[in-house]
Amino acid sequence: MGEVHLETHRGVARRRGARARRRRDLGRAGVIDSVAPASRILEIRAHLAAHPEPSWREHGTAAYLADLLRAAGLDPQPFADFPGFTVDVGPGTPVVGLRGDLDALAHDTPAGTVLAHSCGHDANLAIVTETVLRLAALGDALPHGVRAIFQPAEEQGNGAASVAALGVADGLQTLFGVHLRPGSELPAPRFAPAISHGACCFVRGQIAGSDHHGARPHQGVNAIEVAAEFAGMVAALRLDPQVPASAKFTELRAGSGNLNVIPGSASFGIDLRAQDNAAMTRLREGVTQIGRALALRHGVEITLAEEDHVPAAIVGDAAEAALAAAIVRVAGATALAPRAVTSGSDDFHCYTLHRPTLQAAMLGVGADVTPGLHDPAMHYDLSRLDPAAEVLVAACIAPR
């Protein structure tokens, strides 16, 4: 009798990231304390852009930023088991939080593996760091405590969940994130008071059986045919057409090279996307049911492992309103765009998943990202970083 197993499997992603080649030049830059804030933010960003590090290995990035904040009289608290830290500024227990994402992406190019901040996390980090430095400079004028969380591994979708599990955001009422947006979603120089990300989930599957002779197909199960049935059934999963969603195979491996052998085993990968979390739940359940059905039908063992699951945006109305008010105060009403909607995902929403009462929203920064996020040649309008920090400062100091 066939059977199907479903388990979460974050370790796979972590090991995959660890394989990415690491740049050797991770030396710390000198502390930047004698320049105007508008050029300081660009110097921070330039250092980060020149020293990208892969997910779960952002030690140099975290050390560089912690040194900057320590030089401003702050006391960064590193995480014990992975790169990253929190830092508090202002009086009392922090009630407002800021999230920065430390990791870069690895790209396979003809010249080999290249690391790059092709998602613009160098900009996000420079904006959050500069915001903290400006809040620290306010001294007694800062009305309440603010905590910045510099987390690893956003790109693998499991950094935020690991940091949230430490409880470092549990005392916060509000959490702000920030991310650059391409012009197609948010034209520069406008800001969005929230980013409506979609959910995504990756599933790895194994079909386990024995190879058999090409002349005797009746003596076993052809794993390619099982996988093909699986792919067709996944693509045919039906959901409410009002909610954008997709499910598809993105990997299939089977066969030994001998065309006279019918492969009994195969491995495959599935990418699931949905614009809300209810639709994602239905997709995940659908994949599990298909696995059970095919295991029974063919009498093979099918193992399914969820590699990463990133929830869709859970936007807090009060947090979104606070960012909208800050955008208008800093840049005027014409700079305020509607909520940015994207099918991309961000693990920022894991903080709200961990604690549903948290008011969270991400500031979208229109920065003419060209040609697009996750393109190794990606570039953007650097002049948008300083106003973005001003918006976050205004949102952080607004009365609660």
Nearer to Zn ion, 302 or 378 (CB): 378
* Residue 160 sits in the site that holds Zn ion (CB under 5 A): no
Adjacency order of strands within the sheet including 145-151? 77-78, 85-89, 145-151, 94-101, 174-182, 359-369, 191-192
Only segment of 112-120, 140-148, 229-237, 351-359 that touches Zn ion (CB under 5 A): 112-120
* Residue 310 sits in the site that holds Zn ion (CB under 5 A): no
* Residue 119 sits in the site that holds Zn ion (CB under 5 A): yes
Termini Cα distance of the chain: 60
Q: How many residues touch Zn ion (CB under 5 A)?
A: 1
Check the CA dihedral 140-141-144-146 and report its sign: negative
Beta bridge partners of 205: 268, 304
Closest distance to Zn ion from the beta carbon of 374 (Å)? 8
Nearer to Zn ion, 60 or 364 (CB): 364
> Hey, what are 123's tokens?
């900009």
Applying the rule CB under 5 A, the residues between 316 and 345 that interact with Zn ion are none
Dihedral (Cα; 68, 70, 73, 74), 10-degree rounding: 110
110 prior amide bond cis, ω within 30: no
Only segment of 54-62, 118-126, 157-165, 390-398 that touches Zn ion (CB under 5 A): 118-126
Only segment of 116-124, 138-146, 213-221, 331-339 that touches Zn ion (CB under 5 A): 116-124
Q: How far apart are CA 187 and CA 206, in angstroms?
A: 43
Three-state secondary structure readout of 232-267: HHHHCCCCCCCCCEEEEEEEEEECCCCCCEECCCEE
Only segment of 114-122, 261-269, 271-279, 328-336 that touches Zn ion (CB under 5 A): 114-122
Applying the rule CB under 5 A, the residues between 52 and 91 that interact with Zn ion are none
* Residue 388 sits in the site that holds Zn ion (CB under 5 A): no
Closest distance to Zn ion from the beta carbon of 211 (Å)? 42
Residue 95, C-beta contacts closer than 8 angstroms, at least 6 positions apart: 144, 145, 146, 171, 172, 173, 174, 400
Only segment of 31-39, 119-127, 236-244, 329-337 that touches Zn ion (CB under 5 A): 119-127
* Residue 116 sits in the site that holds Zn ion (CB under 5 A): no
Q: By CB under 5 A, name the binding residues for Zn ion.
A: 119
